[in-house]
Amino acid sequence: MKKTLSYLLACSILFAACAPGIKVLNVESLVPAKYPVAYSDKSIAILNALHINADGTVNYADGFLANMVAKGLKDGMEASEIFRGYEIPVYNLTLSNEEQYEELQDVNYMNSIAEQTASGLLIIIDDVKIAQPQQSISQVYLNAYYGKVFYAKISVPVEAMFRYYDSEKQLYIANHAASDTILWEAIAYRATEALSNLPEMGGLDTLAAQQLGKLMAKATLPRWRDDRRYYYDLSGANGNAATAYAQKNNWEQAMHYWGVIAMESTGKTSAYAAFNMGLGAEMLGDYPLALEWLTLAKDTANFPEIDGYIKRLQQRINDKNLIQQQLVN
C-alpha cells in the first residue's frame, strides 16, 4: 500500500510539473531466485525424510505434513516454465532418529538412493514443524467512506529443511531452512461475517504445509514480479502516433516516432522523447540501447525521474546476469 501511494504521489507531481501527460505501463520483471539452486538438466526426485519412532511408527509430522510440503513443492516446480511438462516423482526416505544425520551425510548411501530413483538431484524435505493456527479479530477504522470494519485473520507458522544433493558432484549443493507464516485475512462490517469468510480451523496445517512447499519452489527459481513503467504522452502528429503504437505494445513503431521527436526537438521535449526511447528499448530487451537513450535524455535536460529509471534499469541488467549464473552454476 505504501509503495502504491508513493508511486501515485510521484505521478501526481510529475503531472503538475511537466507539460506532457503520463501513460502508466504495467510490466513484469524477471528477478533472481531468493535461494538459487542450479537445476540445469538434472533429473529430479523429492524425498520425504521420515523419522521412525522407538515403537516403529512414523512420526505424524513426517508421514503426513512432510508429504503435504512435498506436494506443494512438486506442484510449484512443475508449474514453472523450467519444469513445465516434466513430472517430478516423490518418494519416502525412512530414517531412524539416531541414524538420520549419519545416513544423510553418507555419500555412498545418498548415491544409492539417487541410483534407485534414477535422479541426478535429490531434494530432501526434513524437520517439518507447524505451529497451532492463531485466530484473531479486531475492529479497525478503514477510512471515511468505509468507516469501521472488522478485520479477522488466521496465521499458521510453518518451517522445514530443504536439502539438495547432487549425485554427480557427490555433495549437497544447498541447504535451506525455510520458514514462513501463512496468513488468511477477511474484512466485513460484522464480526461473524468476517470470521465466516476465513477457512475452517481444521485442516489448516495441511494447507500451510502445501503453501510452504509452493513458496520454496518459487524461491529457488527466477520469478516474475509485477512492476510499473511510464512514458510521456507527447503532443503533435508524431507524439500521437507514438502513443497509439505504444498502447498496442508495438514498440518498434512507437520508437520510430519518438526518435523523430528526439532528433528534431530541443530541450525538455527532446529529453522526454529520449526517455520514452529508453522505455521502448527496454521493452524490446535491448538494455544497453535503453541506457544510451536515458543518458542522452539526462544530458539534454536532466530531471529527477531519469536517474531513478537508470538505477532500475541497471538493477534489471544485474538481475539478468545473476539469473544466468544461477541457472548454470
Say what the pLDDT of residue 61 is.
62
Distance separating alpha carbons of residues 109 and 167, to the nearest angstrom: 11
Say what the pLDDT of residue 185 is.
95
- Condensed to tens digits (0 to 9), the pLDDT of residues 46-98 reads 998 887 777 777 766 667 888 999 999 999 999 887 788 889 999 988 876 55
Say what the pLDDT of residue 15 is.
41
Say what the pLDDT of residue 300 is.
92
- Condensed to tens digits (0 to 9), the pLDDT of residues 261-280 reads 999 999 999 999 999 999 99
Which domains does the chain carry?
2-29+225-328 (1.25.40.10), 44-223 (3.40.50)
Average pLDDT along the chain = 86
Which grid cell is 35?
535461494
Which amino acid is located at 277 in the chain? M
pTM > 0.75: yes or no: no
